[in-house]
Structure 1
Amino acid sequence: MAALAHPVLLEAEPAAATSLYAQPKYAAFVAVADTGEILYSRQADTQRFPASITKVMTLYIVFEQLAAGNIRLDDRVTVSKFAASQRPSKLGLKAGETLTVDQAIRSLATKSANDISVALAEHISGSADAFSRLMTKRAKELGMANSRFVNPNGLPDSRQVTTARDIYILSQATIRDFPQYYGYYAQQQFVFGNQVLPNHNHLLRTMPGVDGIKTGFTNAAGFTLAASAVRDGRRLIAVVLGGPSRVARDSNVESLLSAGFTVLAARNRGSQIQVADLLAEPGDLNDRLLETLVEQGSGEPRARKLTSR
């Protein structure tokens, strides 16, 4: 076969501009962490798929067990055959291998490891199913009225649902109830053996004051993020579900947090403005990341590079 005389650059068709708020999966909620005052809400009580934000509920129960003395950070967690079989994102331990509870927590907060989520669930409750029932029970007790959990990692299941408001409630409870463990969400990376695992939450590196919490992604859920930040002694929590890309989601969460802090600062000067007054309609959000969506229960698909032939 004759070679092409000239390389052909594969280009995507131009994408039409679209508003983030027109995305059918989108929902958002912003509130003050200590008082619960709502600063912004859009589709906040409409059920969505949580993806790996699920792991905030998983870790809430882990922190609860630690605080009660039922488990310790240096306890060994054994990876079962079922845990090892989970789809990526995963740490990749084989059945029978172990790691400490501390290492397991770090792997969830950074790598969003689906295999280790199941291993922790089995360590605490004996099975992932029993742990998931505990997740739903505790969620209801926290006031997460529209949430149900059937697995501890957020891999796709149509029965596993939540809302932006419920994820705010969970994030607020984590910060309030377990300040001694909340710092796990701020770690930039986790070194495990010869692996260096960066945190999927890019805002930890790009937005001053952000110290958590958790990203997520599946095709069904879109790109999700619960983020918390502190500025001038005030803490805000923002939740965005159903973003069309990692870039759009991160940009939107940053805009929501920045607008929230601007509103609080304006109040101190005697001005009354709303978060919605400060938000501009986003432009073209159909970026190339949309070409590479894969169900992984977490994190960040890699953008495909243009190639020559």
Structure 2
Amino acid sequence: MSNLRPLLLIQRVFAALALLVLLAGCSTTTPPDSVLAVPAPAQKYAAIVVDARTGKQLFEVSSTAQRYPASLTKMMTLYLLFEALDSGRVSKQTQIPVSDHAASQPPTKLRFRRGESIDVDSAIRAIVVKSANDVAVAVGEYLGGSEDQFAAMMTSRARQLGMTSTIFRNASGLPDGGQMTTARDMAVLGMALRQRFPQQFHYFSESDFMFRGRLVRGHNDMLGRVRGVDGIKTGYIRASGFNIVTSYNADGRNLIVVVMGADSARQRNDHVEALIQRSLSPTMDGAKTRLMFAEQ
């Protein structure tokens, strides 16, 4: 029951918009409110910062607006795979076959041939580090019987976690007009992954892994950039812009930061870093926040 308390708290907190957000231009003076450079375009942008220990919302803009999750979808694919590990349905040595359908997914992927398989441990790393679409689909087919059935399982679990505005249509996050989420729901999922699977959460801090004798590098540049950042997942499709869910855990503070719809990975990462700094600053408690939208 104690593990559910933060999730219940966050659902209550999100019911009310506790933060006043002013959309204004830049000022040459230094007012008592923080100024954050927000990635364009505004119609794709959404963000939220949550204290994962208390469920308190520290910042939000458009956090309940519908957005495309892109590869943040794979966080739920991993959630269900971690459940299968916990239940004993699979072990880390279990071989997952890669079907023709899975192998045919567009990049990013590991490029399997007909009849090949991947062990669960490597599959987790491939999804976290490489964001491999072929592996995500293979996992979905293995656990759900088909990718469509697995997507229904993902949506059902999302509802049980309190992700009230999320619909999953595939295991990878590749473009699908019906696959939608919100920054709030992604924060709930990020919190749930840490709370439910602390023994597996270390995977999200990995920036590379060895597969078949070669080093596979990731692209979550927040790892190693800000002390205390220990995951979780990036995502991008053209319709979504650049998305990220980031976990910060240091000095007794645990934050979940979600930024969606950035115009580039660099803008997204700069914004996440600014939000972390703002949330950790004692002078920002209760302060108003002014957002500057970058020009198109």
Query: Which category of TM-score, normalised to the shorter sequence, fits these structures?
Result: 0.7 to 0.9
Distance 1:276 1:235 in 2: 22
Structure-to-structure mapping, 1:113-124, within 5 angstroms: 113-124=132-143
Q: Quote how far apart the aligned CAs of 1:232 are.
A: 1.1
Q: Quote how far apart the aligned CAs of 1:21 are.
A: 6.1
Structure-to-structure mapping, 1:33-182, within 5 angstroms: 33-182=52-201
- Structure 1 residue corresponding to 2:285, chosen from 245, 267, 273: 273
Distance 1:272 1:112 in 2: 35
- Structure 2 residue corresponding to 1:29, chosen from 35, 38, 48: 48
Distance 1:173 1:244 in 2: 28
Query: Unaligned regions of 5+ residues in structure 2, if any?
Result: 1-25, 27-36
Instruction: Identify the range of structure 1 (194-203 vs 133-142) with the bigger mean alpha-carbon deviation.
Output: 194-203
Distance 1:78 1:275 in 2: 52
Change over 3 Å in CA distance of 1:80–1:276 after alignment to 2: farther
Are the aligned partners of 1:260 and 1:275 in contact in 2 as well (CA < 8 Å)?
Answer: no
Change over 3 Å in CA distance of 1:208–1:94 after alignment to 2: same
Q: Quote how far apart the aligned CAs of 1:273 are.
A: 2.5
Are the aligned partners of 1:189 and 1:197 in contact in 2 as well (CA < 8 Å)?
Answer: yes
Who is 2:223 aligned against?
204
Q: Quote how far apart the aligned CAs of 1:280 are.
A: 6.0
Deviations along 1:68-116, one digit per CA (max 9) or x if unpaired, are 1111110001100000000111011112111100000000000000000
Q: Secondary structure at the match of 1:211?
A: strand
Q: Quote how far apart the aligned CAs of 1:174 are.
A: 0.3
Q: Quote how far apart the aligned CAs of 1:181 are.
A: 0.4
Who is 1:307 aligned against?
none
Q: Quote how far apart the aligned CAs of 1:194 are.
A: 3.6
Structure whose CA Rg is larger? 1
Distance 1:203 1:61 in 2: 25
Deviations along 1:19-74, one digit per CA (max 9) or x if unpaired, are 53652100001001121100001000001000000000100000011111111110
Structure-to-structure mapping, 1:205-224, within 5 angstroms: 205-224=224-243
Query: Unaligned regions of 5+ residues in structure 1, if any?
Result: 1-16, 287-309
Distance 1:147 1:276 in 2: 29
Cα RMSD for the two superposed structures? 1.8
Instruction: Identify the range of structure 1 (28-37 vs 147-156) with the bigger mean alpha-carbon deviation.
Output: 28-37
- Structure 1 residue corresponding to 2:206, chosen from 187, 199, 207: 187
Deviations along 1:218-242, one digit per CA (max 9) or x if unpaired, are 0001000000111211100000111
Identity %: 41
Aligned length: 261
Are the aligned partners of 1:76 and 1:101 in contact in 2 as well (CA < 8 Å)?
Answer: yes
Are the aligned partners of 1:26 and 1:240 in contact in 2 as well (CA < 8 Å)?
Answer: yes
Change over 3 Å in CA distance of 1:259–1:157 after alignment to 2: same
Are the aligned partners of 2:226 and 2:273 in contact in 1 as well (CA < 8 Å)?
Answer: yes
Change over 3 Å in CA distance of 1:77–1:25 after alignment to 2: same
Distance 2:287 2:93 in 1: 44
One-letter code of the match for 2:160?
E
Which structure is richer in relative contact order (CA contacts within 8 A, separation 6 or more)?
Answer: 2
Change over 3 Å in CA distance of 1:177–1:219 after alignment to 2: same
Who is 1:232 aligned against?
251
Q: Secondary structure at the match of 2:92?
A: coil
Q: Quote how far apart the aligned CAs of 1:257 are.
A: 1.2
Higher strand share goes to which structure?
2
Are the aligned partners of 2:40 and 2:261 in contact in 1 as well (CA < 8 Å)?
Answer: no
Who is 1:260 aligned against?
279
Instruction: Identify the range of structure 1 (89-98 vs 105-114) with the bigger mean alpha-carbon deviation.
Output: 89-98
Q: Secondary structure at the match of 1:204?
A: coil
Give the alignment's TM-score, normalised by structure 1: 0.81
